[in-house]
């Protein structure tokens, strides 16, 4: 099926002249403005999105862009709500090509759909098989697939293993990030020894727990840890697969939010290292195998993006006077730029931007309206993702009133350093 493209999304640039384009959706009066060429690659009547910012959405050729499709947006998913998984063919009029379905998903991160590292045609995603969550590796062209006995959160860059956690527990402790439909066996325990992060062999299907919730509580404990429920969230391998990040969270005794600590560890569970235990760590990304960028709180600098040197005390604030808000951060494939976004401001506008640490250069890419949601888990973050060659950025946005995906062309910026 060929998806018709909105006629509103053409932007032209002249050399050395910044030209911006703005529009208001006639049906919703919601504004959008872009400073680079942009186009919608999906359209209604169904909603489309990809989810998190740290997964490979583009295939190795940058022709096929993964996404998910659903017929509703006004409530949390129920156990039997299935989403359609597919890919957009950028070289064939942005044609939507469905290849699977899943009933293990959430609004913020979908079903962890992503291209399998090292493969030109296989993807991996989570699904539900009766009373258990599983993961599936599937060839998007032949349809051949094989089931794995555990769901995955993040895949090792070697494509041979992945780490995962208890999605039922995350669904209860942080609605919008876990799955609904299967009970948490340790629901009544604050930090069970039997629950934690596991590593899954993607070849054999064997898995083993490497860090437990009870174990992590023993690391620099404080007097609030026995008063709230604990969980793990946001796992991410470094570029060479030698270590991965995870967040340890627990509910505050007053019921207002949670406390967060940031850790790194080897895939076998050894050499556990806490890089931040000051109460707040949010979005993060690896710059290289030894350095990670995170929006976090540090005693000397407060809430900022910080660059940490893994397994050392090295930390420095990045963009301290420019990047003033938490966002979904990634480094460009060339390593020179940081891509990030913001949550809606007072005007309900989300800002997308590029920042170059070498000279503190900030380039706004666009602003996108998002109406206030009735439930915070229903929000649609931009979650910007790079194409493999760095020419394109794909975002999710509800500026039109419906969750859809948009493609921005930033080639000129990466080549010339400016609009």
Query: Which tens digits make up the pLDDT trace of 21-41?
Result: 667 775 556 789 999 999 999
CA atoms of 165 and 94, how far apart (whole Å): 34
pLDDT given for residue 3 in this prediction: 34
**Structural domain contains residue 345:** yes
Domain hosting 86: range is 48-363
**Structural domain contains residue 397:** no
Which pairs with CB-CB distance under 8 Å and at least 24 residues apart come from 308-314? 308/275, 308/276, 310/238, 310/243, 310/264, 310/273, 310/275, 311/264, 311/271, 311/273
Contact 352, 362 (CB under 8 A): no
**Structural domain contains residue 383:** no
pLDDT given for residue 14 in this prediction: 27
What value does the mean pLDDT take over residues 119-141?
97
pLDDT given for residue 80 in this prediction: 94
Give me the DSSP letters along 200-253. Answer: EETTT--EEEEEEHHHHHTSS--TTGGGS-EEEEEEEE-TTSS-EEEEEEEE-T
What value does the mean pLDDT take over residues 381-401?
97
Q: Where does the pLDDT of residue 67 fall: very low under 50, low under 70, confident under 90, or very high at 90 and above?
A: very high
The pLDDT mean for the chain works out to 93
For the chain, the domain total comes to: 1
Q: Where does the pLDDT of residue 9 fall: very low under 50, low under 70, confident under 90, or very high at 90 and above?
A: very low
pLDDT given for residue 145 in this prediction: 97
**Structural domain contains residue 30:** no
DSSP 8-class letter at 281: E
pLDDT given for residue 2 in this prediction: 34
**CATH at 144:** 2.120.10.30
Give me the DSSP letters along 9-29. Answer: -----BTTB---EEEE-TTT-
What value does the mean pLDDT take over residues 364-377?
94
3-state secondary structure of 416: helix
pLDDT given for residue 5 in this prediction: 34
Question: Is it the case that residue 211 has pLDDT exceeding 70?
Answer: yes
Question: Is it the case that residue 13 has pLDDT exceeding 70?
Answer: no
pTM: 0.92
What value does the mean pLDDT take over residues 9-26?
44
Contact 370, 344 (CB under 8 A): yes
**Structural domain contains residue 3:** no
**Structural domain contains residue 214:** yes
What value does the mean pLDDT take over residues 120-141?
97
Residues with Cβ within 8 Å of residue 300, at least 6 apart in sequence: none
**Structural domain contains residue 249:** yes
What's the chain's Rg over C-alpha atoms? 21
């Amino acid at each position: 099926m060929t998806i018709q493209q909105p006629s509103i999304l053409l932007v032209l640039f002249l050399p050395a002249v910044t030209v911006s384009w703005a529009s208001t959706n006639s049906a919703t009066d919601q504004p959008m403005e872009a400073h680079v060429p942009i186009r919608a690659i999906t359209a209604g009547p169904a909603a489309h999105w990809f989810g998190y910012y740290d997964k490979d959405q583009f295939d190795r050729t940058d022709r096929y862009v993964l996404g998910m499709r659903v017929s509703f947006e006004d409530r949390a998913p129920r156990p039997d709500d299935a989403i359609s998984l597919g890919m957009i063919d950028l070289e064939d009029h942005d044609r939507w090509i469905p290849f699977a379905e899943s009933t293990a998903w959430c609004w913020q991160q979908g079903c962890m759909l992503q291209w399998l590292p090292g493969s030109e045609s296989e993807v991996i995603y989570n699904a539900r098989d009766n009373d258990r969550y599983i993961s599936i590796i599937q060839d998007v062209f032949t349809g051949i697939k094989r089931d794995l006995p555990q769901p995955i959160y993040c895949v090792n860059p070697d494509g041979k293993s992945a780490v995962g956690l208890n999605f039922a527990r995350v669904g209860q402790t942080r609605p919008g990030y876990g799955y609904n439909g299967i009970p948490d066996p340790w629901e009544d325990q604050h930090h069970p020894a039997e629950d934690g992060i596991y590593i899954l062999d993607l070849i054999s299907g064997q898995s083993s727990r490497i860090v437990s919730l009870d174990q992590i509580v023993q690391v620099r404990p404080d007097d609030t840890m026995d008063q709230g429920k604990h969980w793990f969230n946001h796992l991410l391998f470094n570029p060479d697969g030698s270590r991965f990040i995870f967040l340890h969270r627990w509910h505050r005794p007053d019921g207002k939010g949670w406390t967060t600590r940031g850790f790194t560890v080897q895939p076998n569970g050894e050499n556990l290292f806490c890089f931040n235990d000051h109460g707040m760590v949010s979005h993060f990304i690896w710059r290289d195998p030894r350095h990670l960028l995170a929006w976090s709180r540090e005693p000397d600098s407060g809430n900022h993006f910080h660059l940490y040197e893994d397994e050392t005390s090295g930390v420095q604030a990045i963009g301290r006077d420019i990047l003033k808000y938490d966002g979904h951060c990634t480094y460009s494939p060339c390593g020179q730029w940081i891509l990030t976004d913001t949550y809606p401001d007072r005007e309900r506008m989300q800002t997308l931007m590029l920042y170059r640490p070498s000279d503190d250069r900030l380039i706004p890419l666009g602003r996108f309206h998002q109406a206030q949601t009735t439930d915070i888990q229903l929000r649609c973050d931009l979650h910007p993702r790079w194409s493999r060659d760095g020419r394109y950025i794909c975002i999710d946005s509800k500026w039109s009133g419906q969750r859809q995906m948009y493609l921005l062309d930033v080639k000129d910026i990466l080549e010339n350093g400016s609009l």
